[in-house]
């Protein structure tokens, strides 16, 4: 069960640096997006049965996104919110692949506790769900339900900006029972106050059974107890980093869910392979 946003991504590949007050050529495409939906689609493509719980508006964009989920093999538990617009994210991608995102979460902000079915084995919660007053209640309810059902739980902190605004201590309290936390290096530093990603990973692993910290071009770290495993990033010609973290999460979960006591290196490799495939082309999927 994945709980998180479903949205249209408007991916803008800039031909050069932004030109405030003037024009800049760009390649612009609309694609399926949303952090929760991205993870779910990648999981389905990797052969992991998955349901996505989320919301869309009563518009053509929403119905198209739900149809896309089904076509990818995801089971949608998606509520249509009357009068709301489906979420839209504009991703401005500079040469080299770095991106800035402008988010209108739309109907995603209407997610309610009753929208989330009880997970049967594992819950993955997108951190964005906890940041806004509307979907926060659904996120907390999903975490409580998963714990009561004896499920494993993974959570990603989503982004440093909203995480800092939400409050580190509050987020750590919200996610205290998570089995697996999946921050990037900047999020891990913010959550722990440790400048070194390895030290941050160890600090998070003191609070959770497993902490996985992504390092961008440097790969990723797996920390569990006293064990620390590093794998380098896979080679890729970077076009667009949009959704790389979501792809990594899905790749890692697909292996970890199949063998929770298996080789951490294999789980990291699966995540890094999926991320490398995504950054080599525009869009999050």
Q: Would you please indicate which residues are annotated as catalytic (active-site) residues?
A: 246
Q: 């692949």: which residue's tokens?
A: 97
d(CA 170, CA 139): 14
d(CA 239, CA 96): 6
Tokens linked to 29: 């495409």
- CA angle at residue 245 from 242 to 247, to 5 degrees? 90
- Looking only at the bridges linking them, the beta strands covering 220-224 and 227-231 are antiparallel
Q: How far is CA 194 from CA 185, 189, 190, 197, in A?
A: 10, 5, 8, 7
Alpha carbons within 13 A on the beta-carbon side of 130:
26
d(CA 142, CA 251): 22
Q: Which residues contact residue 174 at a Cβ distance below 8 angstroms, ignoring those fewer than 6 apart?
A: 130, 139, 140, 143
d(CA 72, CA 57): 20
User: Contact at 8 Å (CB) between 277 and 283?
Assistant: no
Q: How far is CA 273 from CA 133, 232, 244, 268, in A?
A: 35, 10, 10, 9
d(CA 162, CA 199): 23
Give the closest residue to 43 by CA, choosing from 285, 266, 238. Answer: 285
């Amino acid at each position: 069960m994945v709980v998180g946003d479903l949205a249209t991504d408007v991916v803008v590949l800039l031909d050069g640096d932004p030109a405030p007050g003037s024009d800049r050529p760009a390649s612009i495409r609309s694609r399926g997006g949303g952090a929760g939906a991205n993870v779910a689609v990648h999981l389905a493509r990797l052969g992991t049965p998955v349901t996505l719980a989320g919301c869309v508006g009563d518009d053509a964009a929403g119905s198209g996104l739900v149809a896309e989920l089904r076509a990818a093999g995801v089971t949608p538990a998606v509520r249509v919110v009357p009068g709301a617009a489906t979420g839209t994210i504009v991703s401005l991608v500079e040469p080299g692949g770095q991106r800035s995102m402008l988010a209108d979460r739309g109907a995603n902000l209407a997610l309610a506790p009753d929208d989330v079915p009880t997970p049967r084995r594992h819950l993955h919660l997108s951190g964005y769900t906890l940041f806004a007053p509307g979907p926060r209640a659904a996120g907390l309810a999903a975490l409580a339900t998963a714990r009561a059902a004896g499920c494993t739980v993974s959570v990603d902190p989503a982004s440093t900006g909203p995480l800092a605004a939400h409050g580190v201590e509050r987020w750590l309290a919200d996610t205290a029972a998570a089995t697996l936390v999946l921050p990037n290096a900047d999020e891990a530093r913010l959550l722990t106050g440790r400048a070194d990603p390895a030290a941050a990973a160890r600090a998070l692993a003191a609070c959770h059974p497993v902490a996985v910290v992504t390092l961008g071009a440097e790969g990723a770290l797996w920390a569990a107890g006293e064990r620390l495993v590093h794998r380098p990033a896979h080679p890729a010609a970077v076009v667009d980093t949009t959704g790389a973290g979501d792809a990594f999460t899905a790749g890692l979960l697909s292996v970890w869910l199949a063998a929770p006591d298996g080789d951490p290196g294999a789980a990291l490799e699966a995540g890094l392979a999926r991320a490398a495939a995504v950054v080599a082309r525009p869009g999050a999927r």
